[in-house]
């Protein structure tokens, strides 16, 4: 048999899968549906890096396993392509952002295909495609129609040098990311989305979903629901969750930029005593009313403040009843979402400002803000020569008079287009819905297709619409707060309008840890330590890279990249390749009882580990199984084919090639996932080697499913071992069932 050569095998199968459209799906399958989703990427000029590969490979493994388990799997892909990095690059290079984006997306697609990802490319979406952002604009108008989109004057981050407003993510250590100038706060009118109106629904919805506990806590903390009381200290109203401590309040603190006494006193309504009003940094302006009562005996921060400024501390006081002074209220840390960007490279906000302002009494006289009629969507981004914001801090669109100046759709009079654009969060807040019906030009997605892929919480379940929302959604840990919150908000709003079938968009959410550069630093272009997968694929092959990224450590933890460690997974694949030669020709072999036990225990362990995203131990189990088969004089074809089917989601190219070489006409990825027989797991005995401090001191025969506690008790009863344990403290013990128990003593 020829040597294993991924350079020949991998392009061959990638072309075959693309030609046959092997992973395209439709809604007419008799199989139950399964919707697996990975966060779509931002297509940067640097292309994919090895951190991307980790998350996408994991969801590709899940998707491939589900297909083998008999599901009609939708695993789509697209691009979150609006945003600041592309605009900055366009300014720097004086090139159109659309051209840059197209090139970046083409490169990403090429890289994804070289990795063997089983995406349904027929469903590809791109947030910068007018056919897509037409519906982002339409959805915005729904928020406007129902009073959830509004304009308000709020403080924004302002760069005095570049004369632009900055999003929070564009401010690094208090400075403008682009030029390094210290950022100021400046009041400006911005479009807002009233996410606070959905605070309680966003909280209660967490009870319906399968998210890691830490993710639920992050969401809860960001929303920050507090039940308390509003109490008036003369003209200062404070919010407190502990109204019972009011008799211990000896001062009031309002939010400020520095600690200082205002010179003002107010009356404590419980004690009738005059207490001083201070300003301090430790009180947040955006929580409660921006003022608190200082109760130093019951609050550590209040105590430190009182001690620093020699304020009174009352330690013994009578607790008050809630009803004595309070108006019961609920407050949130969550604030409405700032939805404006003074940028070019974003979705134009589809409203027009009539020159005649609307009258406050609502009578005729002026139109004010007028939505762009649906027939005129999308509002297209015009081509511009200059992407720099204007000197006044407006979007570059503001200077394009022929685009800005239009007739009012309502009265026909003079009007101006809105020149702010949407944040890149807009397109990513609903893309999972568009995947269900990506080519629909009549609506953002048909209810029929949404019901099929997302399920329907309001109707009896059918076999084909099992589950609620996206069945499994994986993404970066950095997106488990805002992106998750924003997209849940959009989906819940659309559910309330009857436009989507479920209130929660994602049934299950998981996250992967970062891949760090060698040395433990975060990969970044500025540090020159980003690892591009192209060179790795060229040297080792895509299957080796996929296997290594799954084997390198626990999936949810940050792991340091180590290129030399790729050798191990490559050697494992070469071993699997060579094992085929151990299948005897024309000779019948049978699997012995120990072989059956090992095969079925391997099926069980790999299956369970994939579901728990313990990919590293799944790969380790496959390696152990391959090593065991290698020691046999000959191996039964069933054993080898079982190994190949279990390995197929991890190494799709090599296993496809080997499967075909065994005489099979159908793809290995359409074969049924192996099932274990519970009765086969409990048979068989093995000789267990006993090591003390790394040296073999004895052995005993036991059932291969003997537990650790039982095995350790057995070891302590062995005379040849007892002498090595007398007077010693057992510091550690490691047990590999059916193989070895290692004891470390003091």
What value does the mean pLDDT take over residues 375-398? 87
Distance in angstroms (rounded) separating the CA atoms of residues 454 and 456: 7
In the DSSP assignment, the letter for residue 271 is T
- The residues, any chain, with a CB within 8 Å of residue 738's CB and separated by 6 or more, are 684, 686, 688, 704, 705, 706
327 vs 230: CA distance, rounded Å: 5
Stretch 275-289: mean pLDDT, rounded? 90
In this prediction, residue 361 carries a pLDDT of 60
Residue-range domains of the chain with CATH: 31-127+425-512 (3.40.50.620), 144-194+338-417 (no CATH), 226-331 (3.90.740.10), 533-679 (1.10.730.10), 684-745 (3.10.20.590)
Whether residue 712 has pLDDT greater than 70: yes
Grade residue 325 by pLDDT with cuts at 50, 70 and 90: low
Top pLDDT among 94 and 544 is at 544
Q: Is the peptide bond between 453 and the residue preceding it cis, with omega within 30 degrees of 0?
A: no
pLDDT tens digits for range 88-99: 889 889 999 999
Q: Which residues pair with 573 in a beta bridge?
A: none
Q: What value does the mean pLDDT of the chain take?
A: 91
Tens digit of pLDDT for each residue in 14-30? 999 999 999 999 999 99
* Mean pLDDT in residue range 362-389: 86
Q: Cα-Cα-Cα-Cα dihedral of 303, 306, 309, 310, to 10°?
A: -120
pLDDT of residue 463 exceeding 50, the answer is: no
Using alpha carbons, list the distances in angstroms from residue 162 to 143, 157, 177: 32, 12, 11
Q: What is the pLDDT of residue 726?
A: 84
For the segment 529-558, the average pLDDT, to the nearest whole number, is: 94
Question: Which among 609, 671, 617, 670 has a CA at the least distance from the CA of 642?
Answer: 671
Average pLDDT over residues 680-692: 78
pLDDT in tens, 244-263: 999 999 999 999 989 999 99
- At residue 457 the predicted structure's pLDDT band, cuts being 50, 70 and 90, is very low
pLDDT-wise least confident of 2-6, 611-615, 696-700: 696-700
DSSP 111-148: HHHHTT---EEEEEEETTSHHHHHHHHHHHHHHHHTT-
Six token digits for residue 249 = 């309040």
Q: How confident is the model at residue 286 (pLDDT cuts 50, 70, 90)?
A: confident
Q: Is 217 helix (H, G, I), strand (E, B) or coil?
A: helix
Say which residue, 385 or 29, is predicted with more confidence: 29
For residue 467, pLDDT beyond 90: no
Mean pLDDT of all residues in 398-407: 94
| Sheet of strand 337-338, all strands in order from the earlier edge strand to the far edge | 164-166, 149-159, 184-193, 337-338
pLDDT at 494 over 90: yes
Structure tokens at 383: 């081509």
The pLDDT confidence band at residue 179, using thresholds 50, 70 and 90, is confident
Give the residue with greater pLDDT, 401 vs 523.
401
pLDDT at residue 466, as a whole number: 45
- Sequence-separated (6 or more) residues with CB below 8 Å from residue 423: 167, 338, 339, 340, 341, 346
Instruction: Kindly write down the DSSP assignment for every residue of 689-708, as one continuous string.
Output: EEEETTEEEEEEEEETT--H
pLDDT value at residue 723: 83
- The token pair that represents 619 in the structure block: 């790969």
Write down the residue that tokens 């949810």 correspond to: 556
Determine which of 322-336, 350-364, 501-515 has the lowest per-residue pLDDT on average: 350-364
Q: Using the predicted structure, report yes or no on whether residue 64 has a pLDDT greater than 70.
A: yes
> Quick one: pLDDT band at residue 465, thresholds 50, 70, 90?
very low
pLDDT of residue 732: 87
pLDDT of residue 119: 98
617 exposure class (CB count in 10 Å sphere: 0-12, 13-18, 19+)? middle
Look at 450 and 356; give whichever has higher pLDDT: 450
Backbone angles phi, psi at 670, to 5 degrees: -105, 0
Reply yes or no on whether the pLDDT at 358 is more than 70: no
What pLDDT shows up at residue 499? 96
Task: Report which secondary-structure segment, H or E, holds 238.
Answer: strand 236-240
Identify the weakest region by mean pLDDT among 7-21, 164-178, 414-428, 534-548: 164-178
Residues 6+ apart with CB under 8 A from 25: 72, 73, 74, 120
Question: Residue 363: what pLDDT?
Answer: 58
Which pLDDT value is given to residue 464? 38
- Tell me: pLDDT of 592 over 60: yes
């Amino acid at each position: 048999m020829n040597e294993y050569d991924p350079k020949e095998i991998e392009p061959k199968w990638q072309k075959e899968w693309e030609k046959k459209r092997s992973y395209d799906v439709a809604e007419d399958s008799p199989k139950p549906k399964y919707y697996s989703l990975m966060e779509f990427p931002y297509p940067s000029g640097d292309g994919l890096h090895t951190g991307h590969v980790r998350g996408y490979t994991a969801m590709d493994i899940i998707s491939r396993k589900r297909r083998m388990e008999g599901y009609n799997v939708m695993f789509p892909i697209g691009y979150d392509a609006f945003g600041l990095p592309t605009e900055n690059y366009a300014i720097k290079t004086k090139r159109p952002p659309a051209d840059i984006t197209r090139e970046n997306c083409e490169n990403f697609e090429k890289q994804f295909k070289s990795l063997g990802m089983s995406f349904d490319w027929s469903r590809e979406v791109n947030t910068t495609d007018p056919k897509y952002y037409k519906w982002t604009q339409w959805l915005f108008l729904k928020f406007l129609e129902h009073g959830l989109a509004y304009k308000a004057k709020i403080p924004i981050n302002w760069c005095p040098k570049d004369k632009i407003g900055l999003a929070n993510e564009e401010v690094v250590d208090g400075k403008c990311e682009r030029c390094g100038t210290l950022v100021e706060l400046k009041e400006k009118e911005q479009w807002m989305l009233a996410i606070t109106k959905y605070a309680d629904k966003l909280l209660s919805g967490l009870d319906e979903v399968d998210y890691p506990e830490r993710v639920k806590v992050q969401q809860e903390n960001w929303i920050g629901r507090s039940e308390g009381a509003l109490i008036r200290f003369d003209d200062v109203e404070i919010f407190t969750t502990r109204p019972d401590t009011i008799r211990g309040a000896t001062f009031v603190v309002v939010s400020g930029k520095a600690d200082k006494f205002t010179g003002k006193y107010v009356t404590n309504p419980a004690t009738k005593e005059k207490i001083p009003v201070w300003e301090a940094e430790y009180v947040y302006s955006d929580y409660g009313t921006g003022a608190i009562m200082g109760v130093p005996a019951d609050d550590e921060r209040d105590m430190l403040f009182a001690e620093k400024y020699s304020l009174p501390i009352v330690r013994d006081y009578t607790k008050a009843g809630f009803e004595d002074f309070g108006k019961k209220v609920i407050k949130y840390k969550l604030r409405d979402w700032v939805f404006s960007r003074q940028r070019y490279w974003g979705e134009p906000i589809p409203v027009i400002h009539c020159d005649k302002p609307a009258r406050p009494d609502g009578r005729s006289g002026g139109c004010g803000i007028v939505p762009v009629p649906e027939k005129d969507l999308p509002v297209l981004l015009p081509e511009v020569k200059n992407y720099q914001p204007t000197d006044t801090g407006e979007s570059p669109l503001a200077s394009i008079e022929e685009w800005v100046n239009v007739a009012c759709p309502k009265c026909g009079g003079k009007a101006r287009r809105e020149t702010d654009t949407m944040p890149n969060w807009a397109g990513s807040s609903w893309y999972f819905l568009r995947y269900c019906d990506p080519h629909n030009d009549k609506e953002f997605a048909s209810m029929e297709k949404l019901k099929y892929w997302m399920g329907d919480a309001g109707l009896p379940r059918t076999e084909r619409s099992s589950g609620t929302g996206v069945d499994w959604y994986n993404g970066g840990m950095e997106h488990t707060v805002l992106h998750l919150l924003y997209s849940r908000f959009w989906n819940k709003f659309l559910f309330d309008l009857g436009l989507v079938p479920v209130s929660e968009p994602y049934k299950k959410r998981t996250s992967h840890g970062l891949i760090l550069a060698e040395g433990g630093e975060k990969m970044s272009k500025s540090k020159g330590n980003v690892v591009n997968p192209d060179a790795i694929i060229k040297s080792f092959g895509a299957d080796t890279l996929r296997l290594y990224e799954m084997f390198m450590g626990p999936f949810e933890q940050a792991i340091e990249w180590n290129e030399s460690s790729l050798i191990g997974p490559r050697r494992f694949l070469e071993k699997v390749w060579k094992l085929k030669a151990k299948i005897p020709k024309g000779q019948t072999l049978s699997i012995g009882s120990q072989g059956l036990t090992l095969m079925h225990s391997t099926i069980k362990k790999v299956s369970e580990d994939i579901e728990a995203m313990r990919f590293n131990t799944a790969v380790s189990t496959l390696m152990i199984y391959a090593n065991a088969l290698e020691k046999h004089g000959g191996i039964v074809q069933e054993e080898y084919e079982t190994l190949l089917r279990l390995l197929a989601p991890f190494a799709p190219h090599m296993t496809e090639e080997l499967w075909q070489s065994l005489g099979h006409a159908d793809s290995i990825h359409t074969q049924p996932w192996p099932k274990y027989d519970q009765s086969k797991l409990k048979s068989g005995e093995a000789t267990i080697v006993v090591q003390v401090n790394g040296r073999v001191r004895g052995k005993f025969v036991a059932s291969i499913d003997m537990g650790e506690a039982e095995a350790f008790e057995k070891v302590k009863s062995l005379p040849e071992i007892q002498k090595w344990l007398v007077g010693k403290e057992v510091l550690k013990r490691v047990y590999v069932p059916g193989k070895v128990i290692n004891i470390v003593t003091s």
